Structure 1
Amino acid sequence: MNIATCPTFSPDEALIILNDNWGISGSLKPLDSYLDQNFLVKTNNGEKYVLKIANIETPEPWLDLQNKAVEHLYADAIPKIILSKEGHQMLFIESHWWRVLNFLEGTMLSTVPYRSTKLVQNIGAFVGEISKQLASFTHPAAERNLQWDLQQSATLLENWVTFVADEKTKNSILTIMENWKTQIPKIAQVRKSIIHADLTRYNLLLDDKGEKIQGIIDFGDVCWSWTIGELAVLLLESAMTGSPTPFADAYQMIQSYHRIFPITKTEIELLYPLIQLRSATIVSASARQLSIEPDNDYVRKQAIADQEILQQLSVEKSDFATALFLDACAFSFEKNEKMQFSLQNQKIQSVFKDPINFKNIAITPASDIYNEGAWTNFQACQENIIAELENGFGCTSYLSATLHPFVSNSKENETIALGSFAFAPVATPIYAPIDCDFVKKESDKYVFKTNDFYLYLSGIDADLQMESPLEIGDFIGVIAPEKLNTAFPSLVYIQIDCSGNAPAFCVPSESKGWQLLCSDPALFLEFKSNEKTPTQTDSLENRRAKIIQQAQEYYYQKPMNLVRGWQQYLIADDGRVYLDAINNVALIGHSHPKIVEAAVQQLKKLNTNARFLYEDNIDYAERLLAYFPESLQVIFYTCTGSEANDLALRLARAYTNENDVLVIDGEYHGNTTAVDEISTCLMDNPTASKSVRPFTHPLMQPNTFRGKYNSETPDVATLYAQDADEKIAFIQSQGRGVAAFISESLLGSGGGVEMPKGYLQKVYESVHKAGGVCIADEVQIGFGRMGSHFWGFQKEGVLPDIVTLGKPMGNGHPVSAVITTHAIAEAYRKKYTYFNTFAGSPVSSQIASTVLTVIESEKLQENAAAVGAFLKQELEKLIYEFESVGAVYGHALYLGVDLVKDKKSRTPDSQKALWVSETMKQNGIIIYPTGDYYNILKIKPPMCFTKENARFLVETLRTILSKMED
């Protein structure tokens, strides 16, 4: 049909017609539309509707089809038709058909960057129910000719592909078209029904948590088509495009869909070709549109995203995807069955001909071969493996995860070995393990074929003729010298594959599919692995839930199983290397070799309780106190920051003979009873933190973005500090005095908030004047993290009476301290004794001393200053780019990004912060929300963080926020 331009009724004209015919009045807001004219209607009593004015060329039966489809479906997430005063579903007015639907609230899937397992499964189940209901629906107008009906795609592509300029993309589309022709005989076997046909990420609305479908909109493409086409469109548009793990998400969505609306095996076998066909159609349509509107930035931007997913949908992955999709529905893959039968029934021998007693070599990320950073040093890794071999021979287990150096790339690395490494001396002969034909050589991979599978051998030198047959036991070649720039010594890599397209390694999220095509090559080595299968994260979660109290929360909805840390990186058991931007406790970096050496050497000598006399803790105390002012020269050793703050309160109360404590609202100071009673951070104690004890007095948080007074307020520090004077006056009016004021010098739990210049000085002055003592909590921010100063209190220009230190003091080892004056220490001694069994033990003291050595020798304080300033500068650019970035807090390497619903209201956006954190994790970066509303992204990495790390973090965050605000 010829499509006319969209209707152009003014809001006033539309409102008159709406009121006259539906009795609805209020305000109208235009909504985007391609063919029709749509308005959001808001009534005076808060009700919302959608007014749809159809294109003049849209046939009435098509609109009736949409109405009847909506009416047929009985899910709450389906829009309801609002009848006119006379009871009609639509009215023909001013040459157009008019309809009114109720407005569905929800968050568009396209703006949600993180798709949880729960969400993906919910979408699959919900759409399965839609398919189930529509299977019984009929309408005479359903068999209409629509360009987005998959039945039309092959024909349309014949013309549209000519508009694609990029040769690589065009060739991909042409290959997909040729492959589709081979599937045509099967398509006659699949069911047909009426389908929605447009369940894209723009037409699915989610609840506020992004966990389930709250609405489905736009029934404009409803048609009679292949039933499986509904799922093909859904998977491409809502599971795969924009997903960091497209095939894993598709697998779960298919599983959930199939449970509700069972799919036939033939339909599943056609699913991947249909997904490819839909993708090719979208890319070609965008190219066609850009040829008409070359300046259309919206279409161009969408075209880039669509081309990216098209390149992932290669024909070479057809067997992989089909096997995976079949497995999701509990069907077997025929090629795999034939391969397994052949392996079990054919005569097979070792590629080494004679049996060899292989030693099992672990190459998984937890293996000792990677210790002391060897995973970043190929030569060291090779030497470690050679040391493990037995008479020069060793073998790895099938599907072992491997470890590679970190690169600033948000995508998964191919870490899962789909074969096995057999280490052997150079020139060791290799023989045919089975009757086969030599097919070809690809790079260093020799490809052999049997009737039912392929055999790949890499790492050898051979002189073979193409297509030459080999019998079991025939000589093939010899082990080649190891390559340069590889972590492994000389070897043969053996792989079995029934598809002919399996990679040597795959990304973790695709390992389930590739396992269905590949098989354990241990038969060809006469080797049986004694290595335990790596513990799966899911089972770890279940085991943890049974025995560890659930109040002890862990990060992330899909937690990774961490097995190794190195410098500013954390490594999971699947080989994924994450940039750690949150572990301030690992102050100088994970697994620092000097820390390891210090601990081991001291453990060989002495580690005993603190009531004995030994030099280690005295030497360290003298060294540490040199970093403090002359008035702070007495140390108490503790084991944790909580213990340190607990003891600090006891010291203050002993010195002042008072009990009342001033704190800053929203701060966390530990988990002992005493410090829990003064902590007011909702994040860590959501039900009780604001129900303060009579002796706890929270001060207004001096946050110039979110607080009562902003940065533009004159004398803002004085205004915030007045709250301390008022609280002190109240305490004194009750006949009591002030024991202490405890505060971080940069509000860590508040998200890294820097206080107004002079604020802390004024509060210290007021507290001292009232007879109280001032405690500087340096647990999170001390030891050079502030860059410009070694301690946060120095940066703020104050002199505390007590300073508390936490586990960063020992790079995570349980050692901490309280530093105070002689007068306060003496007042405490007169009333109490202090004993803490292993606080300041010889091992703890040696580790803590080594931390200071590393800070000095590796210039980590200077690094914190330079990298932190660069990182904050780059993060602050996001404030001007995104409506959701309200503020950037902090100093040096302790920062926070405050996410808001909009800059005007400054309403904290907790859900967005959680989605961003989860998505950052999927992109290889660890950050997490903090603050009372979980809306501030905390960024406090090990102090060895680099500018490259900072740049990668900001660019990844920028990309994620861009997708959320499109």
Structure 2
Amino acid sequence: MRHHYTPESIHQLAADHFGVVPAEVKPLAGEVDLNYRITDAESHRYTLKISAPGADRSAIDFEAAIMQHLAAKELPFQTPTPIGEIVELPEGRLLRLQSWVSGRMLDELNPRTKSLRHEWGRTAGRLSAALSDFSHPATPTVYKWNPASSSDYRHLAKFLSEEERELANFFWDRFERDALPKIKDLRYGINYQDAHEQNLLVDDEGHISGVIDFGDAMYAPTVCELAVTCAYAGMHLPDPLGGMAEVVRGYQEVFPLEEEEISVLFDLIIGRLLLTVATAAENLHREPENAYLQVSAAPAWALLRKLRTVPPELARVLFGGSVSPLKFTKPPHSIVALAGKQLMTMDLSVGSLDLGNNANFEDLGRFTTHIRRMLEDNDADFGIGGYGEVRPIYTTDAYAQEGNYGPRWRTTHLGLDVWGPAGTPVYAPFDGVVHSVAIDPNPGTYGPTIILEHEVNGQRFYTLYGHLSEDSLDKFGSRSTTGQVQAGDEIARFGADYENGGWPPHLHFQVMTDMLGYVGDFPGVAFPEEAETWLNICPDPLAFFNLSPYPFRFANSPIDSRGAKGSALLQKRKNQLGYGLSVSYAHPLHIVRGSKQYLYDTSGRRYLDTVNNVAHVGHEHPKVVEAIQRQAAVLNTNSRYLHENILAFAEELTATMPPGLSVVHFVNSGSEANELALRMCENWSGTRNMLAVEVGYHGNTGRTIDVSDYKFNGKGGQGAPPQTTVLPMPDVFRGLHQGSATPGKDYAAYAARAIVEAEGEGKKYGGFICESIMSCGGQIPLPKGYLKEVYASVRAHGGLCISDEVQVGVGRVGAHWWGFEGQGVVPDIVTIGKPLGNGHPLGAVVCTPEVAANFANGMEYFNTFGGNPVSCAAGRAVLDVVRSEGLMEHAHETGSYLKTLLHQLAEQHPLIGDVRGEGLFLGFELVRPTPAPAAAPHSLHRGGYHSAVKEAKYLKERMRELGFLMSTDGPDENVIKIKPPMCFDRKNADQLVGYLDRVFQEDKMRR
């Protein structure tokens, strides 16, 4: 039974023996010692420790010495230092006082990022380096938490369940066989050996700021320091080995490991976990009431179960272990007879223009046709390539896995592909034996596969042959491991698609220096963050084809694991492009492919795009791509010639509008559309004076900036020009009429007053321009009746009304084709841009015949590229896809579903002050209550709230790290906007909100 001192007795002990008079005494957790935090009247803090009865005085002296030694080192973190002398208490207890180390436990930190795990490893490395010159006569050499002594505690398996005992014995058997014989020859030293989450402290920025509790320090193999650290750092992770590898890299930067240490590290990590679970089981038997003694048991068991499937050799290489390169002369025989054949480089990389649209490979049948066409178009007998290639083929949902940093995919190809006719013979390159044969009948797999084992010049390695014909396995006995082969023996043939896993006929050839325990199979692709390791295990197999000198070059470069290419592009961009051009995110993305609601970077990582409303019907929609390609191959010229496309497109576009909006002027962008609309207003009224709405954005031309409060009152702006009157943004959440029963009329009254005041000064307004849902304003839906009231006032005094549909049109709002329809109005002019061409530069101005007639005053409006046949083909395809795929109805249904999920999320996280929008044009605003009074619209304090700007920025950046592209809007950039491609679906909504919930629980969102 543990003795618990009263606060009064602790108060007395501190005062009597150390002269510290506590104002507060707080008990702390501990396995052996009784620990208390003492705070005096001047807020100085200390740690008071009382040892268990019969404590070893020499062990306490050792702890004090190690802390004093570390205090003399220049470390980037704090460690406690002893204060005063050690005091002997009754029952053989020892009393001591230490300086307090400030910070909170790493255990409380959320999230644990890649940089944190890296710093965790560096901290352990610094401890190893700092203790390398420390010695003490009382240094313990035997202690139960030493991973190197794991098997000494195998007798504790009697406290485990049958399933637990089987798992533990599996690891202990391997430890005693593979690791134990090497331990005696490792480097030894004094280790801290307890760098877990409750002994490491972090500061407000999440950096490790302190190390406490030196009760486990001992003389042991130096690598045990890292093993203990990894054992804890790997817990609670989908990919524990990847997390441990990050810790190891940090450690090695400070304190490099020797090769033998790396070879036993994985088993030592498991050894520490075995000590954790076995000791916990014993403690549960002896002290069932002490919850602290069980704190690590459940996660340790979960981690052990995951690590059972990890090949130790893979862990060794991921931890930085060396891989011996294959050294031999060229093979006696080529694997495929390619001499004299017409060959081509087959580029299937993520950014490949040859591979083209995702539709070419997402269906394996179409992929077969595409590969055949590539060969035919190049008059090639065979295509060859793929080693180290980052491919998008494996980035569908079927291949997705949960990683430590969001969804991830194996995208880096580890073999070399030879594409050619089914039935092509395959030959053994060297003498060897059959390691294994297998058939995986599932689509997208290797299909029939042979793996050979070779030994050349004392080196053993393996060769894999995938996508074979089924009869290729007959001579070796299907699913057997028998048979010898000679160099030049025909061992197999290319399989047809119906038998080779569904792929176009080809050979997947791969070389492995270690089989890592696999039989009949071996990974053919790797996660990009592990690609360097896997490519070391699987060296370049091109030499096995006896093609030197090679008659071709590979177009794709090996994976850029350190982002050097992206950094170079960023610097080049800064030097060569306009200096006012920004990039998204603190760590810019190098995007090379898009499809549907996804974008792909150079590593093949797929990002869910929730902000790109330009790709209205989906990135690179095949129908739009095909329409552009077909028309571009025939004709692209200006609109002064007769052509069916421009008329058909105009007819189809106006068919989506209310009657009366029937004349179309085609342009190239939303900015051009609004520029033209403003000219129409001037022509109609004789004045450039316009009414515009606060934080509105209408384009980047001179006139459109003049009516864009977002620009002229933003950074670098000069304020409103004389011809523009700004109306308050009709924000019912935080605006001037928050809580009003009739906000539409209240906000519309500003326009009526402005018009009357202008007339009193002898001027008038030519028109009013407004988005039907305000985008840059923060996804602000207009209050009911707002446009009807404003339009009436403007028209009554001779002005025109422009509805800017650049962001929200073409069915995005779900209930209607155009956002203005939700307000029950018909504008005089409608401007359209971004969504109309699905990324192709295309815009339109649709107006009434009266406005068109007035504008046609003799000065021709001609736009060289506006309405060209290719652009019109793109626009027609977009309208067709919206109709044929029911995307407007889809936007309504999916948007309503997502909006419901966001409202539920807001109930859990008060940081979300408002959820708003229509269809797939949504937003949620992040705010914190503030006592500040309502202030000017552009103030961070509005409507009783403080804009949570830092939190919005953090959310955007974190979601990008997790694989979700989001962005901010609003006058304070505290509104998260959601306006994805219209094919965004319910599954995407569930996943998005699930990850949002995860980030909202992180420290920087909860403070």
1:606 aligns with 2:635: yes
Assess, with a 3 A threshold, how the Cα gap between structure 1 residues 903 and 14 changes in structure 2: closer, same or farther: farther
Within-5 A mapping of 1:513-524: 513-524=533-544
Aligned to 1:516, the other structure's residue is in SS state: helix
Assess, with a 3 A threshold, how the Cα gap between structure 1 residues 896 and 8 changes in structure 2: closer, same or farther: farther
Deviation at residue 542 of structure 1 after TM alignment = 0.9
Q: Is the 8 A contact 1:659 1:737 kept in 2?
A: no
Assess, with a 3 A threshold, how the Cα gap between structure 1 residues 647 and 477 changes in structure 2: closer, same or farther: closer
Among 36, 39, 52, the residue aligned to 1:57: 52
> Counterpart of 1:791?
818
Q: Is the 8 A contact 1:669 1:679 kept in 2?
A: yes
Deviation at residue 393 of structure 1 after TM alignment = 4.0
1:539 aligns with 2:565: yes
Assess, with a 3 A threshold, how the Cα gap between structure 1 residues 114 and 133 changes in structure 2: closer, same or farther: closer
Consecutive unaligned residues in structure 2, runs of 5 or more: 440-447, 517-521, 932-943
Query: For residues 499 and 298 of structure 2, what CA distance do their matches in structure 1 show?
Result: 37
Query: For residues 40 and 733 of structure 2, what CA distance do their matches in structure 1 show?
Result: 32
Query: For residues 315 and 114 of structure 2, what CA distance do their matches in structure 1 show?
Result: 20
Aligned to 1:852, the other structure's residue is in SS state: helix
1:449 aligns with 2:453: yes
> Counterpart of 1:597?
626
Deviation at residue 785 of structure 1 after TM alignment = 0.5
Query: Mean Cα displacement is larger for which, 574-583 or 862-871?
Result: 574-583
Within-5 A mapping of 1:471-870: 471-483=486-498, 486-501=501-516, 502-527=522-547, 528=550, 530-534=553-557, 536=560, 538-547=564-573, 548-549=576-577, 551-557=580-586, 559-612=588-641, 614-653=643-682, 655-656=684-685, 662-676=691-705, 678-681=707-710, 687-688=715-716, 699-707=727-735, 714-717=741-744, 738=765, 740-762=767-789, 764=791, 773-821=800-848, 834-870=861-897
Among 365, 376, 384, the residue aligned to 2:370: 384
Deviation at residue 844 of structure 1 after TM alignment = 1.2
> Counterpart of 2:444?
none
Q: Is the 8 A contact 2:671 2:699 kept in 1?
A: yes
> Counterpart of 1:71?
71
Among 331, 335, 355, the residue aligned to 1:351: 335
Query: For residues 320 and 492 of structure 1, what CA distance do their matches in structure 2 show?
Result: 25
Aligned to 1:453, the other structure's residue is in SS state: strand
Among 391, 399, 404, the residue aligned to 2:394: 404
> Counterpart of 1:395?
384
> Counterpart of 2:190?
193
Name the amino acid aligned to 1:326.
Answer: G
Query: For residues 292 and 652 of structure 1, what CA distance do their matches in structure 2 show?
Result: 87
Query: For residues 147 and 928 of structure 2, what CA distance do their matches in structure 1 show?
Result: 39
Query: For residues 631 and 180 of structure 1, what CA distance do their matches in structure 2 show?
Result: 86
Query: Mean Cα displacement is larger for which, 199-208 or 876-885?
Result: 199-208
Q: Deviations over 1:362-419 (max 9, x none)?
A: 3334364564613221111112223344776443332233403621744423333222
Query: Mean Cα displacement is larger for which, 801-810 or 766-775?
Result: 766-775
Query: For residues 698 and 199 of structure 2, what CA distance do their matches in structure 1 show?
Result: 45
Q: Is the 8 A contact 2:38 2:47 kept in 1?
A: no
Query: For residues 491 and 338 of structure 2, what CA distance do their matches in structure 1 show?
Result: 14
Among 362, 374, 379, the residue aligned to 2:347: 362
Assess, with a 3 A threshold, how the Cα gap between structure 1 residues 82 and 292 changes in structure 2: closer, same or farther: closer
Which protein, 1 or 2, shows the higher relative CO under an 8 Å CA cutoff with sep ≥ 6? 1
Overall identity of the aligned pairs, in %: 28
Among 337, 359, 363, the residue aligned to 1:373: 359
> Counterpart of 2:899?
872
Query: Mean Cα displacement is larger for which, 666-675 or 504-513?
Result: 666-675
Q: Deviations over 1:613-670 (max 9, x none)?
A: 5453344233322333345444333212223233434444554555565554444433
Within-5 A mapping of 1:457-472: 457-460=465-468, 461-462=472-473, 463-464=475-476, 466-472=481-487
Deviation at residue 495 of structure 1 after TM alignment = 1.6
Counting matched residue pairs gives 937
Name the amino acid aligned to 2:194.
Answer: A
Larger Rg: 2
Query: For residues 743 and 13 of structure 2, what CA distance do their matches in structure 1 show?
Result: 49
User: What is the TM-score with the length of structure 1 in the denominator?
Assistant: 0.82
> Counterpart of 1:892?
919
Q: Is the 8 A contact 2:39 2:46 kept in 1?
A: yes
Q: Is the 8 A contact 2:730 2:782 kept in 1?
A: yes
Query: For residues 40 and 714 of structure 2, what CA distance do their matches in structure 1 show?
Result: 36
Query: For residues 190 and 763 of structure 2, what CA distance do their matches in structure 1 show?
Result: 79
Aligned to 1:546, the other structure's residue is in SS state: helix
Q: Is the 8 A contact 1:608 1:842 kept in 2?
A: yes
Q: Is the 8 A contact 1:646 1:674 kept in 2?
A: yes
Assess, with a 3 A threshold, how the Cα gap between structure 1 residues 883 and 142 changes in structure 2: closer, same or farther: farther
> Counterpart of 1:440?
436
> Counterpart of 1:231?
226
Deviation at residue 182 of structure 1 after TM alignment = 1.9
Query: For residues 749 and 43 of structure 2, what CA distance do their matches in structure 1 show?
Result: 46
> Counterpart of 1:319?
313
Name the amino acid aligned to 2:657.
Answer: F
Q: Deviations over 1:288-347 (max 9, x none)?
A: 8889999999999987765665455456432233223336xxxx43xx23xx12xx2374
Assess, with a 3 A threshold, how the Cα gap between structure 1 residues 149 and 190 changes in structure 2: closer, same or farther: same
Query: For residues 143 and 705 of structure 1, what CA distance do their matches in structure 2 show?
Result: 65
Within-5 A mapping of 1:225-304: 225-235=220-230, 237-238=232-233, 241=235, 254-281=248-275
Name the amino acid aligned to 1:748.
Answer: S
> Counterpart of 2:936?
none
Assess, with a 3 A threshold, how the Cα gap between structure 1 residues 846 and 51 changes in structure 2: closer, same or farther: same
Name the amino acid aligned to 1:407.
Answer: D
Query: For residues 492 and 853 of structure 1, what CA distance do their matches in structure 2 show?
Result: 41
Name the amino acid aligned to 1:489.
Answer: P
Query: Mean Cα displacement is larger for which, 720-729 or 289-298?
Result: 289-298
Q: Is the 8 A contact 1:105 1:214 kept in 2?
A: no
Aligned to 2:617, the other structure's residue is in SS state: coil
Assess, with a 3 A threshold, how the Cα gap between structure 1 residues 246 and 726 changes in structure 2: closer, same or farther: farther
Deviation at residue 736 of structure 1 after TM alignment = 6.2
Deviation at residue 891 of structure 1 after TM alignment = 1.7
Name the amino acid aligned to 1:688.
Answer: G
Deviation at residue 813 of structure 1 after TM alignment = 0.8
Assess, with a 3 A threshold, how the Cα gap between structure 1 residues 782 and 355 changes in structure 2: closer, same or farther: same
Q: Is the 8 A contact 1:634 1:825 kept in 2?
A: yes
Query: For residues 12 and 638 of structure 2, what CA distance do their matches in structure 1 show?
Result: 83
1:183 aligns with 2:187: no
Query: For residues 50 and 836 of structure 1, what CA distance do their matches in structure 2 show?
Result: 75
Consecutive unaligned residues in structure 1, runs of 5 or more: none
